[in-house]
């Protein structure tokens, strides 16, 4: 039996698992109540995708892993839903690509920041940034503007899963290369990303880690070829088509 006390071959296991983790996140002070709504919206898109990683998403995950490996200072941004859903998985990805983890929240309180940082440490993180908040993203008036000067503010590549569109736009204006995980191909976050990954985060992050481990010994030209071969506009178009026209089993 799993953490849900349901067999993993239950036909709705993955969906029930994500709901359970978000619910636990709220109870543990990690996820905001708004995160419940965001999870429901994402689940609807995932259902229309057939709850699978489509081909273009798989290519995006490989390109994202390659781009993180090429980065001089990669940072993985973590909000409440990310921490609740894929804590150990995001830590594993950070280790695979030698990236920093930074907590960044819209509904920011000291208690939530500390709870998420502690949760990540419980799942293997050695260092978690975001608590210092001695840097700022220009042109944002809300709490997600607060970042660490040696973290997101200094990063050249940022993974921004389950992101707010306005911060994604602001990070792009700072010259950051953004890798976005978002189940809505029409969202601002996905539209402005260099590498938009239209997939459920519970599949996307482990997939990226698998690719990163495979590519760790690849040279820079090989990694760059993988990045250059990825077409973000084509990927978004394919994801939208899969959602609009896909056949559900």
φ/ψ (deg, to 5) at 65: -60, -45
Task: Indicate whether 249 pLDDT > 70.
Answer: no
Question: How confident is the model over 98-142, as pLDDT tens digits?
Answer: 999 999 998 899 999 999 999 999 999 999 999 999 999 998 878
Q: Is the pTM of this model over 0.85?
A: yes
Tens of pLDDT, residues 60-80: 999 999 999 999 999 999 999
Residues in contact with 150: Cβ distance below 8 Å, sequence separation at least 6, in sequence order: 129, 135
Query: Which pLDDT score, from 0 to 100, does residue 4 have?
Result: 62
For the chain, which domains are there? Answer: 55-245 (3.40.50.12640)
pLDDT of 232: 98
- pLDDT of residue 212 exceeding 80, the answer is yes
What value does the mean pLDDT take over residues 166-172? Answer: 88
Euclidean distance between CA atoms 142 and 136, whole angstroms? 11
């Amino acid at each position: 039996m799993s953490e849900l006390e349901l067999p993993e071959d239950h036909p709705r296991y993955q969906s029930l698992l994500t709901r359970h983790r978000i619910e636990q996140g709220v109870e543990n002070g990690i996820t905001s109540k708004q995160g419940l709504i965001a999870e429901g919206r994402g689940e609807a898109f995932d259902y229309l995708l057939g709850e699978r990683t489509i081909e273009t998403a798989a290519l995006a995950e490989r390109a994202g892993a390659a781009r993180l490996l090429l980065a001089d200072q990669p940072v993985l941004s973590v909000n409440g839903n990310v921490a609740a859903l894929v804590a150990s998985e995001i830590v594993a990805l950070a280790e695979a690509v030698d990236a920093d983890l930074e907590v960044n929240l819209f509904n920011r309180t000291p208690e939530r920041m500390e709870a998420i940082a502690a949760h990540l440490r419980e799942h293997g993180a050695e260092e978690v940034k975001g608590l210092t908040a001695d840097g700022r993203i220009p042109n944002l008036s809300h709490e997600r503007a607060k970042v660490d000067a040696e973290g997101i503010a200094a990063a050249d590549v940022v993974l921004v899963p389950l992101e707010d569109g306005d911060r994604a736009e602001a990070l792009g204006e700072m010259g950051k290369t953004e890798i976005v995980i978002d189940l809505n191909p029409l969202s601002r976050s996905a539209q402005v990303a260099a590498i938009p990954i239209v997939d459920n985060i519970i599949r996307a992050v482990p997939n990226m880690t698998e690719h990163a481990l495979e590519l760790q010994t690849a040279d820079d030209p090989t990694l760059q070829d993988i990045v250059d071969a990825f077409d973000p506009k084509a990927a978004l178009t394919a994801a939208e088509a899969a959602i609009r026209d896909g056949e559900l089993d």
